Amino acid sequence: MNGALSGRVYIVTGASRGFGEAIAKALVDAGARVGITGREAATIEAAAASLGADNALGVVADVADTQAIASAFGRIKAHFGRLDGLVNNAGLARPGSIHSLQEAEVRLQVETNFLGTVFCCQAAVPLLRGGDNPRIVNISSASAEHHDEMSHLSIYAATKRAVERFSRDMRRELQADGIGVTILRPGNAPTAFAAGWDRTRFDAALEAWYSAGSEMDVGMDVAHVGASVAWCLSSPPGVSVDVLEVRPNLRIPKPPKSLLMGEG
């Protein structure tokens, strides 16, 4: 990257854990400063502290709340004196077979994963216009493209596919402003993504996943996603990574079902 991110400022949503935290760390390690957002004050403050007060500002904001996002993004730009890009990482999933989908959880996923991305882009674009090599990276998921990912995540996968279609139109619309738009599609990596899932429906999803085949892909870490985002943001003006998919590439047998399902 040769110092391409040094001194630049980026917003990373959903940055208190998992991919978002790794992305923020990769950007700071590359010399950038970051504004990070999340819904829980304690976790977002801890994540910002771990990055250093000079490097990061944590702001509590729900991406589905347009007023909260507009306020947070404006505060971050004012704090650092500039804004060079946005990484839309905030997202969540709730497992459920089609017949067991619950309205509240369907709406939560749509509002967070898709509408949240739309609203964050709307808030960021006016702040990015006129900048030097501004960028937006929208985090999708391998689940949007591949059928060998975790089962019973139909709504999550659908929202990520919607993010990709929205991003393609936005890429064309923002060319006149010189704002590059990238879709990053990460595969599976160890995170706390499934924390808080309903145990009964998670077990049903695991059963379906095991019945789909006896092997799985491993080998990827959250740091690989962070490095991929940093690389995308480092493209020179006039060049933009359109779609980048990063997936684990070591094929191994799935672990014993009892291990993942907490049996025994």
What positions carry a catalytic annotation? 156
CB 192 within 8 Å of CB 140? no
Could you give the CA distance from residue 166 to residue 136 in angstroms, rounded to a whole number?
12
The C-alpha atoms of residue 26 and residue 120 are separated, in whole angstroms, by 21
Q: What beta strand segments (E) does 119-248 contain?
A: 135-139, 180-186, 215-218, 243-246
Task: For residue 40, give both structure tokens.
Answer: 């829980």
Q: How many CB atoms lie within 10 A of CB 3?
A: 9
φ, ψ (nearest 5 deg) of residue 156 = -55, -50
